[in-house]
Amino acid sequence: MGEENLYDSGYNYPLSVIHDGDHGGDDFITTLVALQRSNEINLLGITTCHGNVSVNTATRNACLALDLFDRRDVNVFEGADVPWKIPSQRGDNAFGFNGLGGVDMGEPKKTPQNSSAQEYLANTIQATDKKVNLLATGPLTNLAQLFSSNPSLLENVELLTIMGGCLNPLGPNKRQGNITKHAEFNFYMDPDAADFVLGLEIPTVLFPLDVTHQLVFNENRKQMARSVLKTELGEKLIGVMGAAENVDDSKFELGGAIFHDALPLLFLLKPELFRGKSMHLSINTDSNSEYHGQIRECRDEKMNRSQVFLVDQLTDPGGAFEIILTSVSAVAEQNSRTVA
């Protein structure tokens, strides 16, 4: 099966997007880019879940991102605090106690809504007159719970973009997983949810470590960021972008922190940057197996799995980073308040 572009003709912008994630450092930067690119991304709302940090901390971080834009029209809805079917898994503390690498962004002014993520997702997707794009950058617990209870909502989803999994890793260590030797973090934290969602009859684009490892916040890019992010807030945002460097580099030796969660959003902004292939995929849900949480290709037609477009090539990493840096620098320039 050869490499292909999924959407050569692009999209009808602005896209209606809901961002569902565990809102550690890379989710935080992804949210900032989405908010800055409002001509292309109509961010309807943010839903949070367990993962990098507790769901309460994830919710707090999502509110902090919205504070930087004073976006009162975009709300945060707290979601699942534990996996769908299994006990809570232990993470690797990649983004520190606050999910932002210890960077102090002050106290949030914005507060989450009283409605749950499930209620918000169901009501918004049901009521939309334009199909919704779901941007998933954490464990897929919220989405598995939503669509298992409300399968009719699938017809109102235009596209689901997911960061998770790994088939063919890059780096000298040839390590498939970033939480265990075989499993990527988001899918390991809730394998049952990931397996269920990847089997749904819904247009799905997956961004595994195969492609996220092609966009690294290396020393050269740090210097580029320092040359334009010269304010106090800018320096803090550099800290957030590099928050997971020690964890990432100790496992993969790629020379810096990896922009995992930004890639699904970059695809929505500029799909021509990516190439991949359609595959049938599943997740190992056996909690007694050392391969628990591992993604695998399904070749057995009897499994009746839907196709997923797996992205494994970023054709222009420099151009992708430029989108992130331009957006983040605009945030720093536009934001006049001093972050404590």
Q: Are 34 and 19 in contact (CB under 8 A)?
A: yes
Q: Are 325 and 225 in contact (CB under 8 A)?
A: yes
User: Which residues fall within 8 angstroms of residue 265, CB to CB, at 6 or more apart?
Assistant: 30, 33, 34, 41, 135, 161
Catalytic site includes residue 280: no
Report the candidate in 209, 195, 150, 211 with the shortest Cα–Cα distance to residue 3.
211
Among 19, 260, 280, 292, the active-site one is 260
User: Which residues fall within 8 angstroms of residue 95, CB to CB, at 6 or more apart?
Assistant: 24, 25, 52, 53, 101, 243, 244
Alpha carbon separation from 55 to 171, 189, 190, 290 (Å, rounded): 31, 13, 14, 26
DSSP state of 274: E
Report the candidate in 216, 201, 162, 203 with the shortest Cα–Cα distance to residue 184.
162
Please provide the size of the chain in residues.
340
Neighbour tally for 53: CB within 10 Å: 26
Q: How far is CA 29 from the centre of its chain?
A: 10
Residues assigned a catalytic role: 260
